[in-house]
Structure 1
Amino acid sequence: MGIQEMLRLSLRTEIERNLSQNGYTLSKLSELTGINSGTLSMMLNGNPPRPMTICQLDALANAFGHKPGWLYELYPEECLNEGKFSRPRVIPYLIRCAEIGRQDCIAMTASKLLDNPKNVSILFSVAEQLFENGKRKESIPFYQFVVDSEKDSYSNHFVMAQYRLFRAALGKNSEENWKAVIRFEPYRKRLPENYQLDALLHLANTCFALHQWRDVEKYADELREMALIIYEDELRKKQNKKTYEPVNTERHLVVYYGQGYLLKSAALEKQGLYEQAKQYVQGYADLSWLELLDETGYSEVRKFQLWAKANTYTLEILMGNVGVMDEYLYFLTKNPPEILPALITIIESANKHGFMVDHIMDRFSEEIKHFTHYRDPLNIDRNFRFRYGLAIYRFHNGQYLTGITETLQAMILSIVKNSEKDFLRCVTTFEAYRKYATDEQKQEYHQILEEVRNDEKRIVALSGSDLGTV
């Protein structure tokens, strides 16, 4: 008897043993599992036995009272046919292993699959299905198998695996996000054009959150160029073909073109190049001239119009033109999502040009309280910048206690986003004004430091705490 027959027999021996222990007939088992009696007979008694699907094995486990994953270590042989793996059986099996955490079975099966380099495509298919179903963490090992095993770094599987690993790696950790950018960056231009658009947008946004302004500029320039190339190609296709299928991208095509201008202007703004930034704001202020706009497209155009108006105010305020302040504040009351980035602008300008904004902080005090609810990396970073800028403003105006409170809040946010540079800024700022701190504030400061020394992960729990309001 060969190894394959022995293993198949052992799988079926366990099933037969459970069948006997529970006193089930095949008819009863069919009733409990929903598997046809004839199919059960062929699976258990056929010569050779009929291979079972992973769903059928799960149904048997449930009927016998076992946890999910029962006999999974014996299942891979069900996927073999004359020494070759059956895609319809092995792919669902590996997906189930990933879903229930059977890493041992994944490692064992992947090792066998990779004895034949052509089976890399199977692992890629598993990864893609997991990724598309929102199971990005579970997809990572399979994409890594592809990257480690595929010899051709220009192959579609290899490049897409690198892209998916980049996307899956993005999170709240600034250091890990930067590592993900560095790993993926060399492969971005090897992607199919439609994926290049998505990749460039994510690269630019990630670098924006990391304050890598020159990189944001680079990716924004590439994004505009690629979006325009694809747009012109889409126009030609629509004109020359009776049936037109739009390019497959995550977002509407106008988003990539507009974001290329928006991110470029934002990066220039962050470098203090306000006049240059104004020129790029005009690039997305009115995108209604673009063809191929459907209802979604026009909705995006209206968003860009709103952002252009907001960012025009932003640039004027940063340049010290407080004459537009009342108009700006009215605009914010009508557009609440713009309040956080706007307050960062106002605080930065107040610190630079020396005007008072206490009344503005009071006016938006309720909105400011809710900034602690943000959990996405971009708004966590924005909240940090606002809190730290507000701390400096308070110190400059002799409001030492509230300045220290804002410094402590900023310190916690710097830990949440894992920015050593920003954490040290907060520490040095606190130390510079330590003599003004109350005993309670000093105790809070030392508690944060102690948390960092003992267990950095525990500090995340503090991210939603309210250390004070303005």
Structure 2
Amino acid sequence: MEITPTIRAEIERYLKQKSLSMTQFGNITSLNVGTVSSIITGNRSLSVNQLDRITMGMNLPPDYFYERFVEECVEESPLNWRRVKPFVYRCVELGRLDCLQRAVSMFLDSPIYTHSLFELAEDLFHKGYRDTAAYLYENVAVSERKQHSERLALCQYRLFSIRIGKDQAQNLQAAAKFEPFVDRLDEVDQLDAFKDLANVYRSLSMWDKVYKFSCQMYKLGQVQYDLVHNSKKETELKNKLRSGPLFAYIAYAELMCAHACDAKGSHKQALEHIQGYADLSWVKENDDESLYWKNQFQQWAKINTYVNGLMSGDISVLSDYVEYISGEQHIFNELLNIVEAANKYNIDVDHILHRFEPKIASYKEPSPVEPFLLQQQARFWYKLAKYSLNKGRYPYGFKCLIKALEKSVTINHVLLIANCVGLFFDFKTHAAPEVQTQFQSIYREVWKSNDKKDSFNLNNS
């Protein structure tokens, strides 16, 4: 078995091969001759900055020595976070998560480094290195698992935020795991956490959960609003809020409660919540940002009043609603309401769908990904398939249904997938052979994928 030479041995061998003196090599690497000599003789510990200069001077890839640096300068040396921290950042920059994990693992068993690791995770999270931050948060959470600490709760909140994406089954799992920790956060983080949980559960159509967390956001927002206007906390709180001014959280909670009530068929109760965020005369702030949010909620109240009437069976609001939504960016959200009402009350909306056809065709998915909007797209195609199939437009109806199934599979929305399959079997006798083959092929892939996951869980339970 070949023994890998040490970093120092490789430097020394390089100097001999190139017939370079320590002074010459020092000039190449911008290190003084004393430093080069001390590194080669082992009388001086090697920093990552010095290592990078040496590596560049030897015309090697930047991370060429990183595995050996971990072994020689981290694992075989006394713990020194100040020396290892710059190396960790370089690992992040160069994508060497393997070296970062080996280096960080040395500090995980010592509680005195928990705060340092958490601060590193926070910095990386806010700089966008979410996967690396997740590794650190997970390990900090393990070290804090027996503590009912705010830091543990914040780790779980960050992990929840990182895990939210297109996969709705994964989103549900992430939300369920985070829920027990939300009450341990400080008040400001709680407001954002309640909002985020409500949004995730809205994308999952879990309306009782949406209502629950929206109510909690509303109550906490009111308490904080009263405190702010009776103390000197306003500036401090304003700097921490992520989603607009404090009153916007209260209004948004009303909006989400209205969504939940409408979805559950409680249209009268929904209208009360709509009126709750339509009237913001109690808001004391009058700056530009506050005026923007007041106007935004008034616009939302107007459009959602139309939706509320439509879902209640008041078809007279349809034309006004259509005119109002003509400038909306996320058109699937609004057209879904129209098609849903059409299916529910047997309304012909062909002229409306034709009007918005170019906008549907040119629609681009939002970036970053918004789970709720992705779900609304899938639901729109499913409802449109149902509308078309009920009208006897079988080729177009099945085209919409296949699109709905594909989008439901992409976001792994179990309920929508089941609905698509159920609708397909209701109209299967009208499907052309190639349509049946295509639909069954997509569903077979879903079955195979979930069967593998189920086998894995059984084998590891």
Residue 274 of structure 1 contacts residue 319 of structure 1 at CA under 8 Å; is this kept in 2? yes
Q: 1:262 to 1:116 in 2, by over 3 A?
A: same
Match in the other structure for 1:13: 9
State which drifts further: 363-372 or 341-350.
363-372
Supply the RMSD in Å over aligned alpha carbons: 2.7
- Larger RCO: 1 or 2 (CA < 8 Å, sep 6+): 2
| Deviation of 1:412 (Å) | 0.6
Match in the other structure for 2:240: 248
Match in the other structure for 1:379: 373
Q: 1:411 aligns with which of 402, 405, 409?
A: 405
Query: In structure 2, what is the Cα distance between the partners aligned to 1:39 and 1:293?
Result: 64
State which drifts further: 409-418 or 362-371.
362-371
Query: In structure 2, what is the Cα distance between the partners aligned to 1:282 and 1:398?
Result: 40
Please state whether the residue corresponding to 1:343 is helix, strand or coil. Answer: helix
Q: 1:63 to 1:330 in 2, by over 3 A?
A: same
Q: 2:335 aligns with which of 343, 347, 351?
A: 343
TM-score normalized by the length of structure 2: 0.87
Match in the other structure for 1:360: 352
Letter paired with 1:251? S
Query: In structure 2, what is the Cα distance between the partners aligned to 1:376 and 1:146?
Result: 28
Letter paired with 1:331? Y
Query: In structure 2, what is the Cα distance between the partners aligned to 1:204 and 1:381?
Result: 15
Query: In structure 2, what is the Cα distance between the partners aligned to 1:29 and 1:225?
Result: 67
Residue 265 of structure 1 contacts residue 277 of structure 1 at CA under 8 Å; is this kept in 2? yes
Query: In structure 1, what is the Cα distance between the partners aligned to 2:277 and 2:293?
Result: 11
Residue 371 of structure 1 contacts residue 383 of structure 1 at CA under 8 Å; is this kept in 2? no
Letter paired with 1:97? C
Q: 1:245 to 1:317 in 2, by over 3 A?
A: closer
Query: In structure 2, what is the Cα distance between the partners aligned to 1:115 and 1:358?
Result: 65
Residue 26 of structure 1 contacts residue 40 of structure 1 at CA under 8 Å; is this kept in 2? no
Q: 2:32 aligns with which of 33, 37, 42?
A: 37
Residue 79 of structure 1 contacts residue 86 of structure 1 at CA under 8 Å; is this kept in 2? no
Match in the other structure for 2:62: 68
Residue 254 of structure 1 contacts residue 301 of structure 1 at CA under 8 Å; is this kept in 2? no
Letter paired with 2:337? T
Residue 95 of structure 1 contacts residue 126 of structure 1 at CA under 8 Å; is this kept in 2? no
| Deviation of 1:120 (Å) | 1.8
Query: In structure 2, what is the Cα distance between the partners aligned to 1:152 and 1:26?
Result: 53
Query: In structure 2, what is the Cα distance between the partners aligned to 1:296 and 1:56?
Result: 49
TM-score normalized by the length of structure 1: 0.86
* Equivalent residues in 2 for 1:51-450, closer than 5 Å: 51-52=46-47, 54-76=48-70, 78=73, 83-87=78-82, 89-238=83-232, 246-252=238-244, 253-287=246-280, 289-333=282-326, 335-337=327-329, 339-371=331-363, 373-374=365-366, 375-450=369-444
Residue 261 of structure 1 contacts residue 281 of structure 1 at CA under 8 Å; is this kept in 2? yes
Deviation readout 1:30-77 (Å, 9 max, x if unpaired): 5654x443684476268841542x243233323323223222233346
Residue 91 of structure 2 contacts residue 99 of structure 2 at CA under 8 Å; is this kept in 1? yes
Match in the other structure for 1:467: none
Residue 97 of structure 1 contacts residue 105 of structure 1 at CA under 8 Å; is this kept in 2? yes
Residue 94 of structure 1 contacts residue 126 of structure 1 at CA under 8 Å; is this kept in 2? no
Query: In structure 1, what is the Cα distance between the partners aligned to 2:390 and 2:77?
Result: 78
Query: In structure 2, what is the Cα distance between the partners aligned to 1:408 and 1:108?
Result: 46
| Deviation of 1:455 (Å) | 6.0
Deviation readout 1:144-172 (Å, 9 max, x if unpaired): 11111224432233221111111111111
Letter paired with 1:327? D
| Deviation of 1:322 (Å) | 1.6
Query: In structure 2, what is the Cα distance between the partners aligned to 1:90 and 1:319?
Result: 63
Deviation readout 1:403-441 (Å, 9 max, x if unpaired): 111111111111011022321221221122122222332
Query: In structure 1, what is the Cα distance between the partners aligned to 2:155 and 2:359?
Result: 41
Identity of aligned residues (%): 30
Q: 1:19 to 1:142 in 2, by over 3 A?
A: farther
Q: Structure 1: state its 5+ residue gaps.
A: 1-8, 457-470
Residue 274 of structure 2 contacts residue 301 of structure 2 at CA under 8 Å; is this kept in 1? yes
Q: Structure 2: state its 5+ residue gaps.
A: 451-461
Paired residues, number: 442
